[in-house]
Amino acid sequence: MSARAFAPGAGAAALPADRLENKLLDLKPTYAEGEAIAEANRCLYCHDAPCVTACPTGIDIPGFIRKIATGNVRGSARRILSANLLGYSCARVCPVEVLCVGACVYNDWHRTPPIQIGRLQRYAVETVLDRGAATTLLTAAKPTGKKVACVGAGPASLAAAGYLALEGVAVTVFERRAIAGGLNTTGVAPYKMHVSGSLAEVEFIRSLGVTIATGVEVGKDRTPADLLREFDAVFLGPGLGGDARLGIPGEDGAGVIGATAWIERLKLEPGFALAGVTRALVIGGGNTAIDAAREMARLGVADVGIVYRRSAAGMPGYAHEMEAARKEGVRLIERAVPAEFVRGAGGKLTALRLADGRELGADIVVLGIGQAKLAALATQFPGVAVDAKGLIVVDEATGRTGNRKVFAAGDALGGELVVTAVQEGKRAARAICAVLGVAVRADAPMRAGHV
Amino acid sequence: MADLSIDFAGIRSPNPFWLASAPPTNTGDQVMRAFDMGWGGAVWKTLGDPIVDTSSRFGSLDVNGARMVGFNNIELITDRPLELNLREIREVKRKYPDRAVIVSLMVESKEDWRDIVKASVDTGCDGLELNFGCPHGMCERGMGSAVGQEPEVLKTVAGWAVEYSTVPVLIKLTPNIGDILEAGVPAVEAGAKGLSLINTIKSLIGVDLDKFVPYPVVGGRSTNGGYCGPAVKPIALHMVAALARDPRITVPISGIGGIATWRDAAEFIALGATSVQVCTAAMHYGFRIVEDMIDGLSAYLDGKGMTSVRELEGRAIPAFTEWGDLDLHYKVVAHVDPEKCIGCNLCYVACRDTAVHCIHNAGDALAPGHAASTRTAAIAEAAHRSKSVTGRAKDAHVVWVDESECIGCNLCASVCPVPDCITIVDETNGAPFESWNDRIARGTNKVPGGLADFRKLQTRRV
């Protein structure tokens, strides 16, 4: 988040000042007006543009860019947020290199770099939110009397809740944490977005008429039966559970921590520091592992290695992220299968031993090998099924589960991106309106973007 | 290397590039710096009774980020003492005897014209240019375009200057007139030895939408100005050519209006200009632009096998005709190079919405009996080869042209951002020449479906 007064909300104001993420500065700072207009003017304004096809939510990208170029920033933000209510965080965290920017026709011309779509999108939304003008940007329909509960306050839920609220549905979001936003708040690499950015977006969603109840855990504080009784429909956007573990000797004890847990501490824990850490290892080949390694390197850890069991070509993380990590000094240790955590005097972690006998010195090892599924929560709802991987089973077109009143979206379905979670949330919101008989306005934001 | 020197009604210049009478030629210091950089001549900023200018006096038309595509000013003539200007003109001409030094003039009475003409000629200048074009401020005082817009007044005032001058008198014409010949012919009849055009076009460059004041804002008000810059070039080209092809215009022409490059200059010269005058481009980039103007024009002439710029003069005039003399059987069609196409679909949407919808996407079917100028098989192959690093196949967006429907309008080639991707190809295939005027002469000019046919239909129905 920029230093500008961006509708911070109560959550952002309460953030401790000494969070470690504050040391990691924005890699792509927000555009000044002149920069944005200059970049917008480079856009060819393609017809049937491939960038729109590449956007999971189907934002009218040439349309919103042209509005920036003409100085209609408010119209630009409206165009973005209609198709993607979380257009702000998506502008900052989307892997645009493999989505809209990767599809830009300029890639096939090689005369000029592709349009910086993410940065333009951030400029438009941030400018409008900064002016405090977002609350009147999208107008809501009259109350319908229908009530929907959303489980989890991550991107999928926030999107579904916002779209439903705009059509006059009374939505309550239940979040077990004290802070809303899901992984946007707890898990985004700080050089892409700080916690305050996510919380500002949460406030925008709240301004659409959504009630967000934090510190309420469904399954404990409120039962699924309560929700099914009190609400006309339930939306499940629980995300994923804790970091997975390797199950090898020496794993328990100080110095070994899960990747999402570590990133969360980095972003939110007061006074969290990397005291005495000069050698760090991150196990895993996905984007969370790469994020953790880049954060370590950017925080000044001298020796950061990613430990991956196969070769680089097999890494599920993005090549452009791994390339950025390499440039920041992160080394990749390929074909490395962890066998044991080596601990010295007092149980202090000293190294990671691999199956082939190699030993890699380490002061801290971060496990970025995936997260547990929250199958147990989902299956407490009658009729809701999970597959063999623990992912919630839904109808592709609607996001509806085996229970006609229960819908689901987001990482719990196996997705990985904020932007796909938003699209699934929008899809579920459309389906919920259909099931509840809510008349969706002809110009309703939920109609915008891809089907 | 081609000879760029010119002889303009006896005024000699090492190249055809002159600075126009405007802010760049306000002082001796400026003109000498320009001459050092290679300008062949300069028309001094208009002399007359010094004026008072406003603060805030220019306005720019920017298009999609491109600056100063058009430019507007409300500045008046010189605000410096006459004696100072004349002293500097004398000094410049003495230091740069091979350059064309021309003094622009604007006064009111015959007596004033007599005195200022004589004083100017005394400096040793090569010629005079009568400013009958300024469309703002001065015209309200009965000068500038107020003179140029009234043929009789123009002739009378020009006659005074011609009478008192012993050096060639050029008349600078205003474009704020219905037909440029209405000013050009009397100017020649009055004894002008050359014509300069165009002066600026009367304009409002824009409006401040917060203050509701047009630009340029002077306090809480504004006024109309004179418009120039690249955007006026087509208007100037037409007016220059209209004079150049008219047999009554027997004097050389100095082309002015949006000239920024050697290419612009070559176009003016090909349409009949002997010299060209530049202002806005120098105000945008400085005097240094003349280096490439000289270099580029020389290279162009060499490439065309012309030994002198004089060989270029008027070369395009014979081809500039009335619409009625154009060949109605000439047929061109658009060809798209699928290798170069980046799939932006700008041609597709332009043709669909505003032309004849003859451009289609790769997957679209060709109508039975129609011919495609870009074969779909070739497109598919090219698209396959150009599969981008991100895995995006652009094949669905590569376009092709239904040649049977194409009217050869040039719109697609105009909107295409990729150089040489869309070319316009001659498909005339030896059809004989036939113009509209030919059809009139033969009585074959009736096009079915007109009012006569319509009335017949109406009568039949009744």
Pick from A107, A113, A2, A103: nearest CA to A61: A103
Q: How many other β-carbons are positioned within 10 Å of the β-carbon of residue B440?
A: 11
- pLDDT over threshold 70, residue B385: no
Q: Which two tokens stand for residue A433?
A: 């309106």
**Closest by Cβ to B343, choosing from A38, A69, A108:** A108
Q: What is the mean pLDDT of residues B86-107?
A: 98
**Residue of A1 and B434 predicted with greater confidence:** B434
- Which residues sit opposite B423 in a β-bridge? B335
Q: CA torsion angle for B445, B449, B455, B458 (degrees, to 10)?
A: 160
* pLDDT (tens digit per residue) in A272-326: 999 899 999 999 999 999 999 999 999 999 999 999 999 999 999 999 999 999 9
DSSP string covering B442-461, please? HT--PPTTSHHHHHHHHHHH
B401 CA to chain A: closest CA distance, Å?
17
Q: Please tell me which residue, B251 or B137, carries the higher pLDDT value.
A: B251
Q: What is the mean pLDDT of residues B258-277?
A: 98
Share of chain B above pLDDT 90, in %: 84
Chain B residues in contact with A37 (beta carbon < 8 A): 65
CB contact under 8 A, B344 and A47: yes
Question: Are the CB atoms for B400 and B374 separated by under 8 Å?
Answer: yes
Given a contact cutoff of 8 angstroms between Cβ atoms, the answer to whether B23 and B79 are in contact is: no
User: CB of A393 within 8 A of CB of A387?
Assistant: yes
Taking the Cβ of residue A229 and every Cβ of chain B, the question of whether any pair is shorter than 8 Å is answered with no
pLDDT band at B373 (very low <50, low <70, confident <90, very high): low
Which of A41, A42, A105 shows the shortest C-beta gap to B343? A105
Residue written as tokens 């599920």?
A316
B342–A108 CB contact, under 8 Å: yes
Instruction: For residue A136, name the pLDDT band (cuts at 50, 70, 90).
Output: confident
Looking at beta carbons, which residues of chain B come within 8 Å of A69? Answer: 64-65
Residue B424 has pLDDT above 90, yes or no: yes
H or E segment to which residue B287 belongs: none
Round the average pLDDT of chain B to a whole number and report it. 93
pLDDT of A69 higher than 50:
yes
CA distances from B449 to A15, B452, B457 (A): 77, 8, 10
What is the distance between the alpha carbons of residues A51 and B141, in angstroms, rounded to a whole number? Answer: 58
Query: Predicted confidence band at B360 (pLDDT cuts at 50, 70, 90)?
Result: confident
* Min Cα–Cα distance to chain B from A46, Å: 5
Q: For residue A170, give how far its alpha carbon lies from the nearest alpha carbon of chain B (Å).
A: 40
A contacts of B343 (beta carbons < 8 Å) = 46, 50, 105, 108
Helix axes A61-69, A117-130, angle to 10 degrees: 60
Taken in order A141, A408, A260, A270, the sign of the CA dihedral is positive
Contacting residues for B454 by C-beta, under 8 A, at least 6 apart: none
Tokens of B459: 């009568």
> Which two structure tokens, joined as six digits, stand for B384?
């396959």
Nearest to B390 among A47, A69, A98 (CB): A98
* B418 and A CB contact within 8 Å: yes
Which residue of chain B has the CA closest to A70? B64
* Euclidean distance between CA atoms B112 and B117, whole angstroms: 8
Q: Alpha carbon of A334 to those of A244, A307, A340, A365: distances in Å?
A: 20, 6, 17, 16
What are the structural domains of chain A?
31-136 (1.10.1060.10), 147-241+372-447 (3.50.50.60), 256-367 (3.50.50.60)
What is the set of active-site residues of B?
134
pLDDT digits 0-9 by tens, A157-175? 999 999 999 999 999 999 9
Q: Which region, left, alpha or beta, applies to residue B358 given φ > 0 means left and ψ of -120 to 50 means alpha?
A: alpha
ipTM for the predicted complex = 0.83
Euclidean distance between CA atoms A308 and A352, whole angstroms: 13
> Mind giving me the DSSP string for A173-223?
EEESSSS-STHHHHTS-TTT--HHHHHHHHHHHHHTT-EEEET--BTTTB-
* Residues contacting residue A384 through CB under 8 Å, at least 6 positions apart: A236, A378, A392, A393, A401, A402, A403, A406, A408
pLDDT of residue B390: 35
**In angstroms, what separates the C-alpha of A399 from chain B's closest C-alpha?**
28
Residues from chain A contacting residue B349 (CB–CB below 8 Å): 47-48
Mean pLDDT of chain A: 94
pTM: 0.89
Cβ atoms of B253 and B192 within 8 Å: the answer is no
- Assigned token pair, A449: 């973007």
| β-strand partners of B203 | B225
Residues A106, B342: C-beta atoms closer than 8 Å: yes
A5 has a pLDDT exceeding 50: no
B392 to A50: CB separation less than 8 angstroms, yes or no: yes
What pLDDT is attached to residue B378? 52
- Stretch 61-90 of chain A: residues touching chain B, C-beta under 8 Å: 69
